[in-house]
A and B are shown apart, each in its own frame.
Chain A
Amino acid sequence: MTSPGELPAVDGLTLSPEHRAVLRPGEAIADENGKQHQLPRFFFEIPSWEEAHSLRVASHFTLSELITVDSREADLLLRTFPHYVPCAILALARYLEDFRREVDAPVFISANGGYRSPAHRINKGVSFHNWGTAADIYRVGDTYLDDEKSIGRYAEIAASLGAEVRVRSYREGDDHLQVDLGYLILVPRECSES
């Protein structure tokens, strides 16, 4: 497999009960304000970690960079393949590539900093990471984003990419920049929502 277009897309509702339990496809969940949002229903199926490593989802990003998680992810997604990632991950990769072009330096997405499932143990309520539309950036080139100045500088650049991009403003002690595209859901052409 050499391009994202070759990734098979699947309807999460057709997955095994074990996978549905951790991915919760299409389920409605409430944010901290009580507003309901539907979790992604359609996923790309990743056959192996090797594929994730070799598959470029943008010129400078492999899929593996956006799905690296640590031991707090659900066992099923941590230790077994196939792995599933919401189709909107491609949109995130596109924006990250734009961001990389603007900063003209490698952009490092942290472990747990791309897609993580609703079952991931660091989730506290609703997280854009569950949609595959958020990225935690700890480092740009040689600069660690761990103070107000560095985070503010790159937040401004990320925000300039479009009104649909939101950056979290600096809070005391922050050690990364979080960028997200909101509750974006991508439905592949070959899939049906009915």
Chain B
Amino acid sequence: MNEQEKTETLRQECERILGESKAVASAVAVHDYETGFHFSINADRRFHAASTIKVAILLAIARAIDDGRIRTGDTLHVRNRFLSAIDRTPFRIDAESDGYPQLHKLIGRSARISDLTEWMIVSSSNLATNLLLDYIGLEEAHRVLRDAGVSGIELRRGVDDTKAHEQNFNNETTAEGLVQLFAALRGDFLSKSSRDMTINILLQQRFNSMIPAPLPSHASVAHKTGEISTACHDAGIVYLPEREPYILVVLTEVAAEANGRRETIAKISEAVFKTLTGQEVKA
């Protein structure tokens, strides 16, 4: 299949899958390192980033390690008190809805930054995320994104900031922005050790019902999901031993009560795999 045929096939498949879904808006972006093939639909449309924003914080942490500002054994005081980006009033992360409730048992004590980073990505802990963002600072995270050449990602605040959400002051991303972000993680922006660390953390992702779900068992995916009531996303790098990897980003906006949102992203992942590799998906 040449590039034009791939583009046309993917466009038709994505439009069919998304058309059958309950998504009210969607975006898809693909970058294939095997061939240099690039594909996108609505690549520059902005979405609430949900937990995909945590990958931007991961990049900033890794860069701080490279710059010598953080050492892997460094610790942070664990507390559950954050200030809203809207009016600086305090808010907390609910332990019961946090992806890593065990971290809440460490409140008042300290935790290693390397562990917090892992919990932020692998278990999508909101508490770990806000602790790390408070530590690294918004401005520093912006600087790292800029230096990495990542545009299309607006990191504005920590997560679970209800007041900010009510005022529509949210972290935002585009599909192309996430492709650039994962490309920065994989490329030369980070040292080899930091690159290996970030990819290994992303490979340990616990939530695997979207991009990885339809892929053959020998595939591994370094990815991060993002789900809130009105958005469902997955973005990451798909590794296959027989070829160079590809980056896939699928962003969807959905009605709060919509079912089947994860399945939609899984179907797009399957279509992308088939189109890029020419292989059928095997169990």
Contacts and interface: CB of A to CB of B under 8 A. Distances in A.
B110 interface: yes
A70 B75 contact: yes
A138 B107 contact: yes
Given A138-B107, A138-B108, A175-B107, A110 B80 contact: no
A173 B89 contact: yes
A37 to B, nearest CB: 25
A76 to B, nearest CB: 14
Given A71-B75, A110-B109, A144-B108, A173 B92 contact: yes
Given A71-B135, A144-B107, A175 B81 contact: yes
A108 interface: yes
Interface of A is mostly: loop
Interface size class, chain B: 10 to 19
B80 A70 contact: no
A146 B80 contact: yes
A182 B113 CA distance: 33
Interface string B73-101: 01111111100000001111000000000
A110 B108 contact: yes
A72 B70 CA distance: 10
Q: Which of A113, A138, A172 has the largest number of chain B CB atoms within 10 A?
A: A138
A100 interface: no
Nearest to A108: B108
A173 B75 contact: no
B268 to A, nearest CB: 41
Contact of A71 (B80, B108, B113): B113
Given A70-B110, A138-B107, A144-B107, A111 B89 contact: no
A111 B90 contact: no
Contacts of B74: 70-71
Nearest to B108: A138
A175 B81 CA distance: 7
A173 B110 contact: no
Contacts of B109: 108, 110-111
A154 B89 CA distance: 24
Nearest to B104: A144
Interface string B215-233: 0000000000000000000
A108 to B, nearest CB: 5
Interface in A59-80: 68, 70-72
B81 A111 contact: no
Contacts of B108: 108, 110-111, 113, 138-139, 144, 176
18 contacts: A70-B75, A70-B77, A71-B74, A71-B135, A110-B108, A110-B109, A111-B77, A111-B108, A112-B77, A138-B108, A139-B108, A144-B107, A144-B108, A146-B92, A146-B107, A172-B90, A173-B91, A175-B81
Interface of B: 70, 74-81, 89-92, 107-110, 113, 135
Given A139-B107, A175-B79, 18 more contacts: A70-B77, A70-B110, A71-B70, A71-B76, A71-B113, A71-B135, A108-B108, A110-B109, A111-B76, A112-B77, A144-B107, A144-B108, A146-B80, A172-B89, A172-B90, A173-B92, A174-B90, A175-B81
* 10 nearest A-B residue pairs (beta carbon): A173-B90, A138-B108, A111-B110, A71-B74, A111-B77, A110-B108, A175-B81, A70-B77, A70-B75, A70-B76
